[in-house]
Amino acid sequence: MARNRSSYTLLYRYISKEFAQNFAVSFSFFFCIFFINSILLLVQRILLRNIDIGTMLEIVSLSMPQFLIYTFPFASLSASSMVLGDLGSTNELLAMRSSGIPSSKVYQPLIIISLLLSLVTFFFADAVLPWSSVKYQEKLSEIMRDMPTFEIQPNSVNTIGSIVLSNGESAGNQIDDILLLSNDPSIHQNRIVTSPRGTLTLVDDDSYIYSLELEAPEMLITDPSDREMYGFTHADKAIFYLDFSSQIPALTSNAPMNLSSRDLISGIMERAERTREDEVYWNESREGAMLDFARALKDGERGRLSAADTAAAASDALSRYQLYGDRKPVNFFSQYYKAELAKKFVLSAACFCLTLVTLPLSMVRVKHGKLTGFAISLLIAVAYWYMLFGVQLQIFSISTDPYLLIALPDIIIAAIAVMLIMRYRKAR
């Protein structure tokens, strides 16, 4: 008994070591896919403004957690596939079975590690990601305060809302040779503002609203509907307010996906009453439309309305009923919060589910084990990604809670894994 226990301990260590090595390779691969492309764009924009390396690395580090919650599940999938594929191709699994070691002993370390990775993924999704998102925004605000022209490069053109800003040289918060083109459809005016120099100052840290104080500005106002109508004015100073939120190179935000589960649950509860009110209004409106329809028909039968008026009233009531439809109204933010809450658990459980679906690899012999295992894992990862992406697109087309819908990819993968395992066990 002691010898068997010792043999299993050696087996567990061997499987765990192989998994760790392959996990490191897989993790690097998927990390590059999810992370490098976006980060290179961010780093390029930061380096162009001469941000120091320490600050740049801090920003990059704070943006990492949102990619890690996808990297862990796919890396565990590939690592498990490569381990089992390699053991199968080298006949090690066959040798283990021949020596009386059951397949379950090979599976145990993989399952335990995948469960641990599920906990790690949930920790990153529920604790590290919300924290890093807040710190990222704080650091970016600090940079914007210290360097207001972070997004205004020398001799460049920027579109900020409905305003096009063209400028010459810029240093610190000073901008030279300013040209502002503004089109305001609400008042049917085009405005062209020129100024030799301006000062850009951050006035709202959260929304990235800036004030642009112009020196000796000149403004030409035209009416696009009448070319002969125009106005010209100048002043000693003028202030414009610019919304730079769309210009910020942010990889994180305060969107529901970056909130903790506690904050998401709080948001869901806050919107529950509004959802109930919408449903009550929907029911009352439908019932009112049907009552109006019945009343129109009844008045027509009793001669209170002419045939034409009866048809018009009934048609109007029926149109209103059809307008509300047969599906309950969907509260956008309530569904969004519920979906993001479910996704935290689904992505965490994916480490286990995706590892589970690789276990049947131990029951078939494949050539080039690691390479074949990795190729199979890529196919499964792509299929899982599309399933997860697809169900997220459907959450606003249903009026029920989206929890089961978001969990569907994990359910499908786990069901396939169980069926394959049972099939191969019966075949043996």
What digits encode the pLDDT tens for the residues 32-72?
887 776 666 666 555 545 567 777 778 778 888 888 899 99
**Is 161 a residue whose pLDDT tops 70?**
no
Confidence of residue 146 (pLDDT cuts 50, 70, 90): low
Question: Given this model, what pLDDT does residue 35 score?
Answer: 74
299: confidence class by pLDDT, cuts 50, 70, 90: confident
- 77 band by pLDDT with thresholds 50, 70 and 90: very high
Alpha-carbon span 73 to 374, nearest angstrom: 14
Residue 3 pLDDT? 47
- Please compute the mean of the pLDDT values over residues 365-373 and round it to a whole number: 79
Q: How far apart are CA 418 and CA 416, in angstroms?
A: 6
Specify the DSSP class assigned to residue 363: G
What pLDDT does 173 receive?
Answer: 74
Higher pLDDT, 219 or 115: 115
Write phi, then psi, for 363 (nearest 5 degrees): -100, 0
Q: Is residue 147 scored above 60 in pLDDT?
A: no
Is the pLDDT score of 148 beyond 60? no
Q: What's the whole-number mean pLDDT along residues 276-299?
A: 79
pLDDT of residue 333: 80
| pLDDT above 80 (res 225) | no
- pLDDT band for position 247 (cuts 50, 70, 90): low
pLDDT at 271 exceeding the cut of 90: no
What confidence tier does 1 reach under pLDDT thresholds 50, 70, 90? very low
Q: Is 48 helix (H, G, I), strand (E, B) or coil?
A: coil
Is residue 36 classed as helix, strand or coil in its secondary structure? helix
pLDDT at 372 over 80: yes
Give CA separation, 49 vs 143, 148, 294, in Å. Answer: 10, 11, 70
Longest dimension (CA), the chain: 101
- Measured in degrees and rounded to the nearest 5, phi and psi for residue 200 equal -105, 125
Rounded mean pLDDT, 269-296: 79
Confidence band of 174 (pLDDT split at 50, 70, 90): confident
* Helix 53-62 with 37-47: angle, nearest 10 deg: 150
* 186: confidence class by pLDDT, cuts 50, 70, 90: low
Residue 183 pLDDT class (50, 70, 90 cuts): low
At residue 2, the pLDDT reads 44
Residue 172 confidence class, pLDDT cut points 50, 70, 90: low
What crossing angle do the helices spanning 332-356 and 261-301 adopt, rounded to 10°? 130
Q: What is the predicted pLDDT for the residue at 405?
A: 92
pLDDT of residue 76: 95
Per-residue pLDDT tens over the stretch 301-334: 777 777 777 788 778 877 777 776 666 767 778 8
pLDDT, tens only, 379-390: 999 999 999 999
Q: What is the pLDDT averaged over residues 90-118?
A: 85
Residue with tokens 């990390």: 31
Radius of gyration of the chain (CA): 31
Q: Where are the domains of the chain?
A: 2-145+343-386+404-427, 151-247, 256-333
**If you average pLDDT over residues 398-403, what whole number do you get?**
83
Confidence (pLDDT) at 100: 77
Mean pLDDT of 247-268: 73
CA distance 247 to 143: 14
Report the C-alpha dihedral over residues 119, 124, 125, 126, rounded to 10 degrees.
80
pLDDT of residue 133: 85
Answer with the residue of higher pLDDT: 127 or 272.
Answer: 127
Lowest mean pLDDT among 189-198, 308-317, 331-340: 308-317
